[in-house]
Structure formats: C-alpha cells, structure tokens
Amino acid sequence: MSGTSAPTSVRMPVMAPDECFRAFLVAASTGKIFSEEEAETIFGLIMDGAATESQIAAFLMAMRVRGEQPSELLGAVRALRVRMTVVDHVPSDTIDVCGTGGDGHGTLNVSTAVSFVMAALGVPVAKHGNRALSSRAGASDVLEALGVSLDTDPAVLGADLHTRRLAFLSAPNHHPAMRHAAGARKALGVRTLLNFVGPLANPAQVKRQLIGVSAKQWMKPIVDTLEKLGSERIWCVCGEIPGDHPDGIGAYIDEVTLAGPTRVEALENGKRLSFSLTPDMAGFQTAPVSAIAGGGPVENAVALEALLHGSKGPYRDTVLLNAACALHVAGQGVLLKDQQPDPAALVRLVSLAAHVLDNGAALAVLNASRARHAAGKAALEGRAS
C-alpha cells in the first residue's frame, strides 16, 4: 500500500558573516542603496569583526562616492547604539557638544573648550570624543596632553556628571565595536559615514546636542535621525567659509564659525527650524578659519589652556559663540525670537560664557580634572610599589 510522505522543510544555506559582508560589498560597488534594516545588518557585521580592514575601506568609499543615504545613517547608528557601553543615571539636562570632523581644516579643539565653559556654568556635559582619525588632534588626544583622565568606569562617569558637571566619554572605551573600523578610517583619512555615526551614539544617551557637520546636505538627515531616536533639542550647525578652496579643504566647517554665516537645522520642542547665524550678531568681527588653525595634540592643548587663562583672539570668540548656542540647547537661555536668532539674546549668552573664562571658573574645571588624574595615577603607583 503506497502512502504519501509528509512534507519536509527545506534547509536554506546560511551565509557565514564574512561571506554575507562580501555580498553587501559587491552590492555597494554597483551603487545599491541600502534600507535601514540592511544598513543595520551591514554595520553590525563591521562592528562584529566580520570584515577585513581593506573591505571596510572599500565599502565606506563606495558609499561615499555614490552618496550615503539617510536610511543608511539611521541603520548604522542603531547598530552602534545596541553595542555601546552605556553611562546610566545621568542628569536629565545633560548635553553633548561635538563636531563630526572630516572638514580638512585642522582647527583648534572648539567643542572640548566649550565643554569646560559649560561645566563652569553648571551645565552637565557628557563630552563624547575620539582620537584623531580624519584630523591631527582629536578630543581624546588633546585631553591626554592636558593631563586629564579618561575614566572607563560608567558608574564613575555618571557620578561625575552629577558632582563635577563634566564627563569625558572616550569613544574607544564605550564603542569597542568600532575598533574594527579604526584602521580603515585612519588609512582613508577622509570623512565617511562613520564620522556621523559616532556623535549620534552618545553613551550617556543625551537628549540635547549641539552637533557640527562639514557637509550641509547632512544637516537635515542628522536631525531626522536624532529625532527618530528620541532627542528633544538639537542644533546641527554647519559653518560656511567664503572664497576659493584648495583640494582637500572644504567650504564648510563643523562648528559655529567666525569665517562667515553658520547654517542651523534645529529641533525645538517638537518643531523643526532652519536659520542662519552670523558673527556680527554677537558683536564679533569675521575672521578666517586660518586664525584658529591648530596642530598636534600638544600645540592644541597649549592653546586651550591659554584660552582658559584668559587669552583673547579668534579662538576665544569662536568658543564663546559656540558656548552661547550650547547654552540655548541646554535650556539655560533663549536665543530665538519668532524662530530666528535674537542678537541681543546672543550677546547676553556670550557674556555669560565670557565671565567664566575671565574669572577662572573654566580653568578651575580643568585643574580639578587634572588633580583627579594625578591622584589616580599616584594611587596606582602606590599599589604597584
């Protein structure tokens, strides 16, 4: 008697992670645009070590050449956020101030200096930074040159935000998965999508950010991404630099600038706003980007300390202009009137920031950070002896 056999399931072949990435790399070379879900998978493979350095470099450049897409940014940020080491129990009004880098200008460290000013004003800052990848001196490099400790314990960092109002979150300590892409990024030495991804994955999960970009087409997608991920107030800024620009030097800079107008794409109380700031609104004269040209970590550290000691000039004015914007983002002042910048309000907030530079309060924040580093070093040496 014949019978009918029960249907059997067909086992589909499962690609190994490295084979899967190679397939995505081939697709990228043909110009394919990836969905948010695909991008999360791709960047998850990169962050999990499934791709070689040369493959990662090839993929990042293929995306850059054909133009990275908002869906790919959102997917990459999601991939990084689920893999990061989080700092919990931070003050609800904590902010971050950072630039995405890759503008080719090699300026002094503006957002790091702003962090000391903001902490001196009582605003908690979870300053997210990295070592130089597409620049000469990243935030972590300069802090190290200043003798500032980069703590790794999330509990200590969270406590710092409550007590000292400042915590430096070194990207390698909180995004270990990104180490797989570090070699490729440094070898390329140009802006890639990953320049945007890190600043959108602050380990303290801040809801307020002043974030600078050097590619104006990315301003809206960056704010869109942060809004979808739950941010409350965002200013994405892009400084415009007038004139001719030699190869490798962009017409934009990733901060509020003295060189020309700064475009702002903002998320304010659930509303989206677009406007421009100019240095004269704050009473500052324009100055070329070359006026704040930086060098290596030691040179930039010397300039930052001189600033905190009261040194005047374009570096100070640039920091004050950015700090005034950060105060608005933090809810410590209102810079807008009828959804446009109010010059009188901008001048008031610049004055507040200038006060803590002139009275030594911002320098005291640096010195307290140094003292803590020295105490920790001495304790380690004592245990070792």
Give binding residues for anthranilate as ranges. 99, 130, 185
Take residue 287 and report the two structure tokens written for it: 């100055």
Annotated binding site for Mg(2+): 111, 254-255
Q: Per the annotation, where are the binding residues for 5-phospho-alpha-D-ribose 1-diphosphate? A: 99, 102-103, 107, 109-112, 127-135, 139
Angle (CA) 202 162 130, round 5°: 30
Which residues, including other chains, have CB under 8 Å from residue 161's CB and lie 6 or more apart? 87, 90, 91, 94, 124, 125, 126, 167, 204
Question: Contact 108/303 with Cβ under 8 angstroms?
Answer: yes
Distance CA 92, CA 90 (A): 6
- Name residue 192's amino acid: T
The number of beta carbons lying within 10 Å of the beta carbon of residue 49 is 13
- State the virtual CA torsion across 329, 330, 334, 337 in degrees, nearest 10: 20
Q: Which two tokens stand for residue 111?
A: 């957002």
Q: How far apart, in whole angstroms, are the C-alpha atoms of residue 370 and residue 193? A: 34
Alpha-carbon distance 279 to 353, whole Å? Answer: 15
d(CA 315, CA 109): 9
Q: Which residue has the tokens 């101030």?
A: 97
For tokens 């001189």, name the residue.
306
Pairing of strands 233-240, 208-212: parallel
Task: Give the side-chain half-sphere CA count within 13 A for 63.
Answer: 25
Question: Which among 9, 31, 153, 149 is positioned nearest to 87, based on CA atoms?
Answer: 153
Q: Known binding site: residues?
A: 99, 102-103, 107, 109-112, 127-135, 139, 185, 254-255
